[in-house]
Amino acid sequence: MAITSMGNCARFAAKPLTHGGTPAPVWLAGLDQKSLPQLDLTQCPGLVVAAAHPDDETLGLGAMIAQLVAAGVDVRVVSASDGGAADPNATRWERTRLEATRRHELRRAADVLKVPLPVSLGLPDGELADHEDRLADLLAETLASAGPGAWCAANWRGDGHPDHEAVGRAAATACARTGATLLEYPIWMWHWGRPFDTAVPWENASAVAVSGWAVARKRLAAQCFRSQFEPGAAQSAPVLPAFVLPRLLAVGELVFR
């Protein structure tokens, strides 16, 4: 797949989450015109979902995960970091407490999606690019034990967040080593991108067709991440503004392959 990530971190940085981003109706009108092919979930023999932070797996592919699990497919979630850097002003103690909170939230979301206890690798949030080789080794081990032909879904290498892109690159390395099928899911593309954006490899995109109940399950799972969606201490703004989840639910799930 063509790597188009150069510059996408700058795109995201230029359009921070406080600025709204591309609205869902703009996406829906654009995606209508694209008529993307659909990913055939019946071909999935097993899935490992690699996430940079606790919540990426749910925000990116929660409905697909719920639907595969209901079909009897073995789905495992690997969280590279515990998301301790979500508040850049936090003290070391606050960071440790946030990591524990987010690990707990991830376990609750996994319960909602009916996947087994996620594996938390504990790599440093915000610095995953410095640990890419280790992450690739760990993902390759997980994929090797997931059985032949397993799929690996990871954050997209062009998502515009350095940690997301590092997980995508590590997963690509692990898939090349094990023969697993790589799928990459965007999250922040839905914020900084546009429907006909040349920074997005639309030729490799497939839509994930899911049932309404699976989307409802995704919504419930996402609501487990209260530390991200609710106001912080002294009513500070939530890490993820209120428009983020409705937009993701509206546009649906998509992978690059």
- Segment near Zn ion (CB under 5 A), from 52-60, 65-73, 190-198, 221-229? 52-60
> Does 82 interact with Zn ion (rule: CB under 5 A)?
no
Shortest distance, CB of residue 240 to Zn ion, whole angstroms?
A: 10
One symbol per residue from 165 to 194: x for binding Zn ion (CB under 5 A), - otherwise; what is it?
Answer: ------------------------------
CB nearer to Zn ion: give 52 or 224: 52
- What number of chain residues touch Zn ion (CB under 5 A)? 3
One symbol per residue from 1 to 40: x for binding Zn ion (CB under 5 A), - otherwise; what is it?
Answer: ----------------------------------------
CB nearer to Zn ion: give 130 or 196: 130
> Does 80 interact with Zn ion (rule: CB under 5 A)?
no
The 3-class SS string of the chain reads: CCCCCCCHHHHHHHCCHHHCCCCHHHHHHHHHHHCCCECCHHHCCCEEEEECCCCHHHHHHHHHHHHHHHCCCCEEEEEEECCCCCCCCCCHHHHHHHHHHHHHHHHHHHHHHCCCCCEEEEECCCCHHHHHHHHHHHHHHHHHCCCCCCEEEEECCCCCCHHHHHHHHHHHHHHHHHCCEEEEECCCHHHHCCCCCCCCCHHHEEEECCCHHHHHHHHHHHCCCHHHHCCCHHHCCCCCCCCHHHHHHHHCEEEEC
> Does 52 interact with Zn ion (rule: CB under 5 A)?
yes
CB nearer to Zn ion: give 163 or 208: 163
Shortest distance, CB of residue 40 to Zn ion, whole angstroms?
A: 27
Shortest distance, CB of residue 60 to Zn ion, whole angstroms?
A: 9
Residue type, 105: E
Shortest distance, CB of residue 198 to Zn ion, whole angstroms?
A: 24
> Does 53 interact with Zn ion (rule: CB under 5 A)?
yes
Shortest distance, CB of residue 56 to Zn ion, whole angstroms?
A: 4
Residue type, 75: V
By CB under 5 A, name the binding residues for Zn ion: 52-53, 56
